[in-house]
A and B are shown apart, each in its own frame.
Chain A
Amino acid sequence: MKTDELIAALSADTRRRGLSLSNGWWVAVALAALAAALAYASMLAPRPDIAAVAMTARFLFKFLFAGALAGAAFASSVALSRPGVGLGATLWLLVAPALLAVAVVLELVSVPAAEWGPRLIGRNSMACLIFIPTIGLVPLVVFIAALRRGAPSHPVLAGGLRAAVGRCRGAVLCHPLPRRLTAFRGHLVFHRGADPHRARCAWRPAFRALVSRSGNRSCAKPPL
C-alpha cells in the first residue's frame, strides 16, 4: 500500500475516540487517589493519637512536604508529557527538598544531640519502606498509563516524575518527620523510567536520568 492510499483510509476514518490529554490527566489523578486511599484503608489505619497530633507542626509538615513534592511532580510530568516543552516546570521540584532541609535544621535545633541518631532512623522505617511503595504501586501504573498517551521528548525523566507523584501519596500517610530522610532514599531506589509510544526504556533508574539528563535519548534494547 502506498502512503497516499493509507492517507485516503485515514482521512475517511472520522470516528473520534478517547479523552483529550488534559482530561486524561485529571482522570488519572482521581483514579490514583482512589487507589491509594483504598490501599491505605485496607492495610493501615490512622494513628490512634491522631486527635492529639492533628494540629502539631510536625504532623502538618508531612502534608506540606508531600503536597509540595506531589504538586511539583505532577505539574512537571504534565509538562513533560508534551514534546517541545522546556524543563522550567521541573524547577518546582526543588521546593520540597528545600522545605525538608529547613525542617531538618529546625529539628536539629529543637532536639537534643543524643536524640539525633534514633530520630533519624525512627521506629517505623522498615514499615515505611514497605508500605509507601505498596500504596504507590497502583498510582504509579495509572500515571505511566496516562503518560503513555503523551509524546514526551524526555521519556525517562517523565517516567521518574510519575513515580514521585505516586510515592508522595504514600509518604504523607506514614512516619514522623526525621524518618522521611530514609523514606526519600527509598523513593529514589524504587523509581524507574517509562516512556510511551512503545519506545520503552524499561527499568532504567529514574534517578540516573535526574542527575545525568540522559532521559532525552533512547536507550539500548532492554535485555530479554
Chain B
Amino acid sequence: MECLLGKDDRELAALLSAGMAGDEVSYAVFLRKVAPLIRGFVRRKIVAGGVDPEDVVQETLLAIHLKRHTWRQDAPVGPWIYAIAGHKTIDAFRRRGRRIEIDIDAFAETIAAPEEETVSERDLDRVLESLAPGQRAVVSSISVEGRSIRETASALNMQETAVRVALHRGLAAIAKRFGRGG
C-alpha cells in the first residue's frame, strides 16, 4: 500500500498506537502533529468562501478521536486521516448548501506544508454552549482552562471517573451536533 507520509506516517502510526494503548502524552503529540496536516489539506480544498477551514479541522479531529478504534494498527495512518478530512470537508460544504466535487483519491497534492491556525469564532463554541451544564463545565475546564482530569475533579467537586465519563460524553455530543448550530 502506498505510504503517503513516508517516515512521518510510521511515526504518526506509532504515536497513535501508543495513544490507543492509553498513553495520553503520545496521543496529544499525535493530534498536534496531525492538526497542521489536516489544516493544509482542508485549506487546499476550500477555495470558495462560506466554510471556515478551522471548523473542518476541529470536526475532523473529533471524528479521528471518536473513531480511532476503527483504524487498523497495521495500516498506514495517512490515508485514513485524509479520507476522514475529505468526508468532513464535503459535509461542511453540504451543510451550507453548496455543491462540491472532491476527489479524495488525490492525496498526492495534499502532502502540503503544515499550516498554522487562524483565529475566528468557532462552530465548536456554539456547540459547546448547547451541552448539558455538567458536560460543558468539564469540557471547558480541560480544554479552555487547560486543567487535568484530577484538577477538574477537585475544582468541580466530582469523582475523577465522573469527570472522565462527562468528558467522553461531552465530546461525543459535540461531534454529533457539530455544524447544526447546536
Can you name the residue of chain A whose Cβ is closest to the Cβ of B127?
A1
Against A, the Cβ 8 Å flags (1 = close, 0 = not) of B25-63 are: 101100110010000000000000000001001100111
* Docked-complex contact B91 and A198, CB < 8 angstroms: yes
| Option from B65, B82, B128, B143 in Cβ contact (under 8 Å) with A83 | B82
* Docked-complex contact A11 and B101, CB < 8 angstroms: no
Task: Please count how many residues in chain B sit with their CB below 8 Å of the partner chain's CB atoms.
Answer: 66
* Docked-complex contact A152 and B167, CB < 8 angstroms: no
Can you name the residue of chain B whose Cβ is closest to the Cβ of A12?
B142
* Docked-complex contact A10 and B171, CB < 8 angstroms: yes
**Which of A14-42 touch B at CB < 8 Å?**
14-22, 24
Is A43 at the interface (CB under 8 A from chain B)? no
Is B137 at the interface (CB under 8 A from chain A)? no
Against A, the Cβ 8 Å flags (1 = close, 0 = not) of B71-103 are: 110011011101110111011001001011111
A158 vs B137: C-alpha distance when bound (angstroms): 41
* Docked-complex contact B19 and A7, CB < 8 angstroms: no
Is B11 at the interface (CB under 8 A from chain A)? no
**Which of A158-213 touch B at CB < 8 Å?**
195-199
* Docked-complex contact B128 and A1, CB < 8 angstroms: yes
* Docked-complex contact B142 and A82, CB < 8 angstroms: no
**Which of B117-165 touch A at CB < 8 Å?**
117, 119, 122, 124-125, 128, 139, 142-144, 146, 148-149, 164-165
Q: Give chain B nearest CB distance to A157 CB in angstroms.
A: 12
* Docked-complex contact A3 and B19, CB < 8 angstroms: no
Instruction: Tell me how many residue pairs across A and B have CB atoms closer than 8 Å.
Output: 150
Is A136 at the interface (CB under 8 A from chain B)? no
Chain A interface, DSSP helix/strand/loop, else mixed: loop
* Docked-complex contact A84 and B107, CB < 8 angstroms: yes
Q: Which residues of A contact B117 (CB under 8 A)?
A: 2-4
User: Known contacts A14-B22, A85-B1: does B143 contact A3 (CB below 8 Å)?
Assistant: no
- What are the 4 closest A-B residue pairs judged by CB atoms, nearest first? A84-B79, A83-B83, A11-B28, A197-B87
Interface residues of B (CB under 8 A from A): 1-2, 4, 19-20, 22, 24-25, 27-28, 31-32, 35, 54, 57-58, 61-63, 65, 67, 69-72, 75-76, 78-80, 82-84, 86-88, 90-91, 94, 97, 99-105, 107, 117, 119, 122, 124-125, 128, 139, 142-144, 146, 148-149, 164-165, 167-168, 171
Supply 19 A–B pairs (Cβ within 8 Å), ascending by A.
A1-B125, A1-B128, A3-B54, A6-B143, A10-B61, A12-B148, A13-B65, A13-B164, A13-B168, A14-B24, A21-B72, A24-B70, A84-B2, A84-B83, A86-B1, A153-B86, A198-B87, A216-B104, A221-B99
